Structure 1
Amino acid sequence: MQQRVDAPTLIVLAGGLGSRFGGSKQITPLPILNRTIMELSIEDAYAAGVRRAVLIINAHIRHRLEQQILPRLPSDLEILLVEQHVSAVPEQFMEYAKHRQKPWGTGHALLTAKPYIVGPAIVITADDYYGKQAYIQMVQHFDRAPQHMAMVAYPLKHTLSSLGGVNRGICQLEGDKLVAVKECESIQQTERGITGLIDNQEQAIPSDTLASMTFWGITEALFVALEVGFHEFLRNYDSDVKKEYYLPTCIEQCIVSKQMDLTVYSAEDHWYGVTFKEELAAVAGKINEQRS
């Protein structure tokens, strides 16, 4: 595919610390494929026409990224590494940063990319595999509507785990527009079909219900809302070191307040993710099968 100078930038949120995984899963290669999920995602975006990627990282993985992963990526792909630092807050909130060890969350991570983004962008997380078609869908969306945000959401049946219940954000739609994302917990396949807990009440959920898996198509207007929201988050800070500023929360607030609308596309591929090291081999096999 020839270079697309008007294609969206890819933003990869790769700054997490991987506490449940027991290491930096962003740079852990998959068995069989011998590449990281992040590499596969970048390759899929490249195949869809993307030629620029901004990777939001923590300082601990920079060296291995530069030495082992970046050299394997296409030579004509522009890549920027941007570190997410706890101290990257407005001056009046610097005292909060002194008492914090973890990053501020996905909303703050995306804010660190603001100086490097012009035009639309595709936002993903480093440890989720979305499939090739999602990038094609998003590039085509921005071809049609470069000033309007979008999401590729996944049928719930394609996001379940064989290891037990999972939590997902259930999309509530009006036509093809996102209205809200409702948190649903302990979703799993049972003899009665797919069930989950919504407001602590068990409910049956149709298998084709769309779930948000953090595959966003954003515009520059979102960064303005993110800054305002982050200031509000910090003003309400309650000394809880686990409290995070979440990207989906900001997007939903923008939708509810009618600041912007967001088109939802149903994914054509399966989603695969890794939480624990024990999942690596099984996930690698499924991704390899989907890509072949």
Structure 2
Amino acid sequence: MKPTLLILAAGMASRYGSMKQIDGFGPNGETIIDYSIYDAIKAGFGKVVFIIKEEFVENFKAIFEPKLAGKIETDYVFQNFDLKQFGIEEEIYREKPWGTAHAILSGRNAIKEPFCVINADDYYGFDAFKKMVDFLENEATDSQYSIIGYELGKTLSEFGAVSRGVCKVDENGNLEEIVERTKIYPKGDAIVYEEDDKEYPLAFETPVSMNFWGFTPAVFKITENLFKAFAMANKDKPKAEFFIPLIGENLVKSKTADFKVIPTSNKWFGVTYKEDKPYVQDCINQLVKDGTYPESLWN
């Protein structure tokens, strides 16, 4: 059974100002998601599941169904605020969705095979998808998961400091911990992160997480239990978010599962602010010019 691609596309995109998940960046208006799915099909994924808000389902179907029909199976699941589905009867006020790890739970009834999770607004590159397919088909077990590790120097922004999950890897290539560094930027020929008004160096090749994770369906029950505990512990914090690294951190510390850090030399780029759009368009145009992608992706 071919693995599934789970795309996190339910974010509010408040800093971007519009639905960046379906904004056009390619020569013919292709979204970043289009390039991810194109690479995923080429790599050997058999299904794509979109996690979206229910009110956007017709938008997504109109954009993606004509392109993907006959190429890959598609499904749509909805991230919502309903806690009763997890056995939580208490009403908890929220200002925003519960976060990326909660979003994964939305796919628990749609996915029965090994799968990976990616962000809708990030470009990951074919190498990462191919390596993930190989892992999911040949190595993944309920106690062996994975994460794609990007070289820090290939994930920086020209528009300011970035936050990155810096991965500490053991001698077997497994994740020991992820430390979120919230202010990383180039300085001269070096890369530094800032903490308590001091600067500390980071190597160009330092592996970082860009939210590209590989799991088996066993992770759903684990995540549900973690989420119920998180929701109750944060019921008075309407902005608290349950992120995917919290799953990884719990499983690694409890020795429930290992996470293989799979290195890729691909350049990553993504879109957070409106100002990122021209840069992302330039990156995609260059990939088309280099022959990585056809000018018209689906024709």
Where on the TM-score scale, by shorter chain, does this alignment land: which range?
A: over 0.9
Q: 2:257 aligned to 243, 260, 272, which one? A: 260
Structure 2 counterparts to residues 163-174 of structure 1, below 5 A: 163-174=159-170
In the alignment, the residues of structure 2 paired with residue 107 and residue 75 of structure 1 have an alpha-carbon distance, to the nearest angstrom, of 30
Give secondary structure in 1 for the equivalent of 2:164. Answer: strand
The number of residue pairs the alignment matches comes to: 285
Q: Which moved more, 1:282-291 or 1:86-95?
A: 86-95
Corresponding position of 2:199: 202
Q: Which runs of 5+ in 1 are unaligned?
A: 1-5
Instruction: Please give the per-residue CA displacement for 1:38-78, whole angstroms capped at 9, x wherever unaligned.
Output: 11101110110112111100123222111123211252311
Task: Name 2:297's counterpart in structure 1.
Answer: none
Match of 2:91 in 1: 95
2:129 is the counterpart of 1:135? yes
- The Cα shift of 1:31 comes to 4.7
- Map of 2:114 onto structure 1: 120
Q: Secondary structure at the match of 1:95?
A: coil
Q: Which moved more, 1:193-202 or 1:218-227?
A: 193-202
Partner of 2:184: 187
In the TM superposition, residue 222 of structure 1 has moved relative to its aligned partner by 1.3
CA contact (8 A) 1:93 1:234 kept: no
Q: Matches of 2:261 and 2:109 in 1, distance apart?
A: 27
Task: Output the TM-score relative to the length of structure 2.
Answer: 0.91
Match of residue 270 from structure 1: 267
State the 1:16 CA deviation. Answer: 0.3
Residue in 1 aligned with 2:224? 227
**Which amino acid in structure 1 is aligned with residue 125 of structure 2?**
G
Alpha carbons 1:160, 1:188 under 8 Å: kept: yes
Structure-2 residue corresponding to 1:24: 19
Helix, strand or coil at the partner of 2:25: coil
| Counterpart amino acid of residue 247 in structure 1 | I
Number of the residue aligned with 1:66: 61
- For residues 231-269 of structure 1, the C-alpha deviation after alignment (integer angstroms, 9 at most, x for no partner) is 111221242221111111111111111000010111121
Query: What is the distance in 1 between the residues matched to 2:96 and 2:261?
Result: 31
**Cα separation, 2, equivalents of 1:34 and 1:128:** 16
Asked if the contact 2:26/2:285 (under 8 Å) is kept, the reply is no
1:216 aligned to 2:213?
A: yes
Query: 1:25 is aligned with what amino acid?
Result: K
Matches within 5 A, 1:137-156: 137-147=131-141, 148-156=144-152
2:74 corresponds in structure 1 to: 79
Q: For structure 2, list consecutive stretches of 5 or more residues without a partner in the other structure.
A: 294-299
Quote the residue 1:3 is aligned against.
Answer: none
The residue number in structure 2 matching 1:281 is: 278
Task: Please give the secondary structure, in 2, of the residue aligned with 1:114.
Answer: coil
> 3-state SS of the aligned residue for 1:19?
coil
- What's the C-alpha RMSD, in Å, of the aligned pairs? 1.6
Q: Secondary structure at the match of 1:92?
A: coil
Give the whole-Å Cα distance in 2 for the aligned partners of 1:14 and 1:198: 31
Structure 1 residues 91 and 149: alpha-carbon distance in aligned structure 2, compared to 1, 3 A threshold: closer
Match for residue 50 of structure 2 among 47, 55, 73: 55
Distance 1:233 1:93 in 2: 15
C-alpha deviation, 1:143, in angstroms: 2.8
